[in-house]
């Protein structure tokens, strides 16, 4: 029977030894920071064109403009971190070494979540500070109301997306299939439903929309809920995906 610390060490070794998972985490940082910096610079240079008279200018949201591509990278990371074992057949060796499947998945979730949170926190804070530096006189600070909460919200959202993707991949036992489900869900189905009046209410409770509420600094008229409700909805999706993964892992062979 493998001890839980041994499971954690094993999972950590697996993640850092697979080059694709390292690169996807690095890409999460680069695209979120890079696109946010570019759009912050463009906004500062063309402020009157970007400004809306109806709502206050959200300097925090501008800095996080690149998070949509960061979402894609962190989803791929979560899928590959789980799916590589299934595609290579190494999951059989892992299950032989750790037959307690609940313990195994918990160890994977702890390592994945911890690593994703660490990278997401660094990404969120550096993205914020870089964006504010490039926004010049239109910038904000962490001391302003709701700004620090929004920065932490960005990091937590990326972390939960990673764990949600890991849970879905565990359920499907296939990284290609998982990507084939997750990418259209987040980048096609959710945006399309959000634009359809009759289906908009349903789309408001998808994890990507809920996550976007976590980044809000200002109240927005017509929005169904605020940042804390968005956090709880995202958390519910994440817990459901991991619970589904645990159930499938216990019931099905590798």
229 Cβ contact list (under 8 Å, min separation 6): 210, 213
- Interval 8-20: pLDDT, tens: 888 888 888 878 8
| Mean pLDDT, rounded, of the chain | 89
What string of DSSP letters covers the chain?
---HHHHHHHHHHHHHH-HHHHHHHHHHHHHHHHHHHHHHHHHHHTHHHH--SSS---HHHHHTTTHHHHHHHHHHHHHHHHHHHHHHTHHHHHHHH---HHHHHHHHHHHHHHHHHHHHHHHHHHHHHHHHHHHGGG---TTSTTHHHHHHHHHHHHHHHHHHHHHHHHHHT-HHHHHHHHHHIIIIIHHHHHTSTTTHHHHTTSHHHHHHHTT--S--TT-S--HHHHHHHHHHHHHHHHHHHHHHHHHS--
Whether 167 contacts 242, CB under 8 Å: yes
Q: Given this model, what pLDDT does residue 253 score?
A: 59
pTM for the full model? 0.92
- Domain parsing of the chain, residue ranges: 4-251
Q: At what angle do helices 147-172 and 227-251 cross, to 10 degrees?
A: 20
Cα–Cα distance between 241 and 205 in angstroms, integer?
15
Which two three-digit tokens encode residue 25?
A: 């985490």
Q: Given this model, what pLDDT does residue 210 score?
A: 92
7 pLDDT tier (thresholds 50, 70, 90): confident
- DSSP 8-state code for residue 206: S
Q: Given this model, what pLDDT does residue 150 score?
A: 96
- Give percent of the chain with pLDDT exceeding 70: 97
- Give percent of the chain with pLDDT exceeding 90: 56
- Interval 87-107: pLDDT, tens: 877 888 877 777 788 888 888
Q: Given this model, what pLDDT does residue 2 score?
A: 67
Cα–Cα distance between 87 and 80 in angstroms, integer?
10
- Interval 163-216: pLDDT, tens: 999 999 999 988 999 999 999 999 888 888 887 877 788 888 999 999 989 998
50 pLDDT tier (thresholds 50, 70, 90): low
- φ, ψ for residue 209, nearest 5 deg: -65, -45
- φ, ψ for residue 226, nearest 5 deg: -105, -165
Residue 254 has pLDDT above 60, yes or no: no
């Amino acid at each position: 029977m493998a001890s839980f610390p041994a499971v954690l060490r094993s999972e950590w070794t697996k993640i850092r030894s697979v080059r694709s998972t390292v690169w996807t985490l690095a890409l999460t940082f680069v695209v979120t920071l890079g696109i946010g910096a570019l759009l912050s610079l463009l906004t500062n240079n063309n402020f009157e064109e970007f400004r809306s008279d109806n709502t206050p200018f959200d300097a925090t949201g501008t800095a996080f403009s690149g998070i949509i591509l960061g979402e894609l990278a962190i989803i791929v990371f979560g899928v590959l971190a789980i799916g590589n074992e299934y595609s290579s057949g190494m999951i059989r060796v892992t299950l032989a070494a750790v037959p307690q499947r609940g313990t195994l998945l918990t160890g994977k979730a702890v390592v994945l979540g911890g690593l994703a949170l660490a990278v997401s926190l660094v990404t969120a804070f550096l993205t914020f500070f870089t964006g504010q530096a490039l926004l010049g006189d239109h910038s904000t600070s962490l001391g302003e109301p709701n700004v620090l909460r929004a920065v932490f919200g960005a990091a937590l959202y990326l972390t939960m997306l990673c764990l949600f993707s890991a849970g879905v991949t565990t359920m499907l036992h296939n990284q290609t299939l998982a990507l084939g489900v997750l990418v259209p869900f987040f980048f096609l189905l959710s945006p399309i439903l959000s634009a359809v009046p009759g289906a908009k209410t349903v789309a408001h409770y998808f994890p990507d929309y809920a996550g976007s509420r976590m980044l809000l600094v200002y109240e927005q008229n017509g929005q169904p809920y605020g940042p804390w409700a968005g956090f709880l909805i995202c958390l519910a999706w994440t817990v459901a995906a991991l619970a589904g993964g645990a159930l499938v892992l216990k019931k099905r062979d590798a």
